[in-house]
Copies of this chain bind each other. A is one copy, B any other.
């Protein structure tokens, strides 16, 4: 173990990575399936991976996120390393981070301390180019929409009803709202539009839910780009864009193999937003992991109200996956904040605040168990945490028949999460009782209500008549069997980010609905949801640079 290093990047660089072919060999991946990308990354050709019985699928989720940080990715890495340490062949399956936010406030999304995946600077920047390919496929479709209109609009697209925007993997608030096609006849018909960040693209969600190349192309074909004057949908297939979009994604569809600091294999592939999309890594990577390993450790975005619910109701439902157990990550600090403490006041023991805040954790425990998935709580240890604070959490969990385990993987790597690994291995022994929250044949609004009342514990969900009318039109058009994907603040069970803890009696107001016919869900937007982030006053970019050895400095 290396100590006294100043940053995650320093720790990551202090480890000599295994050659990626050796990582593949450790994971039982045949060499002919490995396409190296630089020295420490590879794409996998899945056709060369032998069939095998599926391993067990372990979800890592969390309490509602707070500015104190929970360490969900760090815990996923630590757990995978720990399972490998105790002799369980384990594959880690994570999301790819978005490039844009690395230049804003947040650092990368490759874990931290001694529980990281590497090469962290590559993974956080362009990695193997998947997000750039998604951006290109997205924007090709956008260009073909406007090109079609420019050359005569044979499909009769209503330029006021085009719903396909453009995408860029960059935090750029200036592109949220634009007027395009200015400058005269040769530039097309001016109209209002805008850009979303690439992780919010439906192409991203499609890539992550597709089961194979044919399914990918079929889903791309179903994308609705807009409507005619009489509200008939116009699709990517109508524009003949689906084939070229799939061609642009021919490599992006292959999972990426990297390693943890302890040399264990990790598939990092896809990274859809966890609000307007489902927030999990690709189905293709998860399935490959299940074939290759006895355990797959994967994570879902934000807290369990958003991430785990979508993992179960969208990803597992569509892909026929059966999770064996779930880890809910909590920290003393996050629960203190849920107990009303400001970030500036987190130092020092505060048992009373943890007692107030632990209701947030308890509700997530109850929620995950509603899906029939057994739970263990991982308390990600921070230096200032007291034993008494941990005991509050452990007792609250135990009152619900769930173990809470203090984990020190950040400081100690896999060795610090062995107890968690043993607990998970034990829980995953029992046959799964997993079932999604609601049935396919419920109406779309009844599905929204089911999530709102049973997961968010709202009194009810409400929507204006035009929203109900829109949902009815989609049901009439054959989209009624789709699951719903609710976009709301990740910070609260309610739609108000300031209401922490475990609120009840609130109302979920559905402001807008969007059809993601290719991804295969209906998005219900409840509250402010930003799909193109901005940069802060002092962007992280100002401190990022290449040193004389060509190494990236300042990426945190």
Confirm or deny: A454 has a beta carbon within 8 angstroms of a beta carbon on chain B.
no
B545 touches A174 (CB 8 A): no
A550: contacting residue among B139, B179, B250, CB under 8 A:
B250
* Cα A241 to Cα B247 with chains together (Å): 34
Asked whether, in the complex, the Cβ of A183 is within 8 Å of the Cβ of B187, the reply is no
Q: Taking the complex as formed, is A176 at the interface, i.e. its CB lies under 8 A from any CB of chain B? A: yes
Contacts of A152 in B (CB 8 A): 537
Tell me the complex Cα distance, A175–B180, Å.
6
Given A541-B241, A544-B243, A172 and B132 contact (CB-CB distance below 8 Å): no
174-231 of chain A: CB within 8 A of chain B: 174-183, 186-188, 192, 194, 213-214, 217
Within 8 Å CB of A170, what residues of B? 136, 139-140, 143
Indicate if A147 sits at the interface (CB-CB under 8 A).
yes
Given contact pairs A37-B37, A181-B177, A186-B173, A217 touches B143 in the complex (Cβ within 8 A): no
Specify which chain B residues have a CB less than 8 angstroms from the CB of A129 in the assembled complex: 126, 128-129, 132
> Is A305 an interface position by the 8 A CB rule?
no
A249, chain B: closest CB distance, angstroms? 8
Is there an interface contact between A179 and B176, defined as CB atoms closer than 8 Å? Answer: no
Given contacts A173-B186, A534-B147, A542-B244, contact A140 B178 (CB under 8 A): no
B172, A243: Cβ atoms closer than 8 Å: no
A171 within 8 A of B: yes
Q: Residue-by-residue, is A139-154 near B (CB-CB < 8 Å gives 1, otherwise 0)? A: 1101110110011100
Instruction: Using known A-B contacts A129-B129, A129-B132, A170-B140, determine if residue A546 contacts B187 with beta carbons closer than 8 Å.
Output: no
> B187–A172 contact, CB under 8 A?
no
Q: Chain A interface secondary structure, helix, strand, loop or mixed?
A: mixed
Complex contact A180–B174 (CB within 8 A): yes
Option from B176, B182, B247 in Cβ contact (under 8 Å) with A555: B247
Q: Give, as a whole number of angstroms, the nearest-CB distance from A507 to chain B.
A: 25
User: A37 vs B554: C-alpha distance in the bound complex, in angstroms?
Assistant: 26
Query: How near does chain B come to A543, taking the closest CB pair, in angstroms?
Result: 7
Shortest Cβ distance from residue A464 to the other chain B in the assembled complex, whole angstroms: 21
Given A151-B537, A173-B188, A183-B176, A243 and B142 contact (CB-CB distance below 8 Å): no
Smallest CB gap from A246: residue in B: B546
Complex Cα spacing A37 to B537, Å: 37
Picked from B38, B143, B176, B548, the residue with its CB within 8 Å of the CB of A174 is: B143
Is the Cβ of B126 less than 8 Å from the Cβ of A133? yes
Smallest CB–CB gap between A173 and chain B, Å? 5
Residue with the greatest number of chain B CB neighbours at <10 A, chosen from A140, A142, A170:
A140
Q: Which of A447-499 contact B (CB under 8 A)?
A: none
Q: Is A99 an interface residue (CB 8 A)?
A: yes
A500-556 interface with B by 8 A CB criterion: 534-535, 537, 539-546, 548, 550, 552, 554-555
Q: Which residues of the other chain, B, contact A534 by a CB distance below 8 angstroms?
A: 147, 150, 186
**Which residues of chain B have C-beta atoms less than 8 A from A186's C-beta?**
173, 534
7 new A-B contacts at CB < 8 Å, known A174-B188, A243-B546: A126-B248, A136-B170, A140-B541, A150-B174, A213-B550, A217-B545, A246-B546
Q: Which 6 A-B pairs have the closest CB atoms?
A: A243-B545, A177-B183, A132-B132, A177-B182, A244-B541, A240-B542
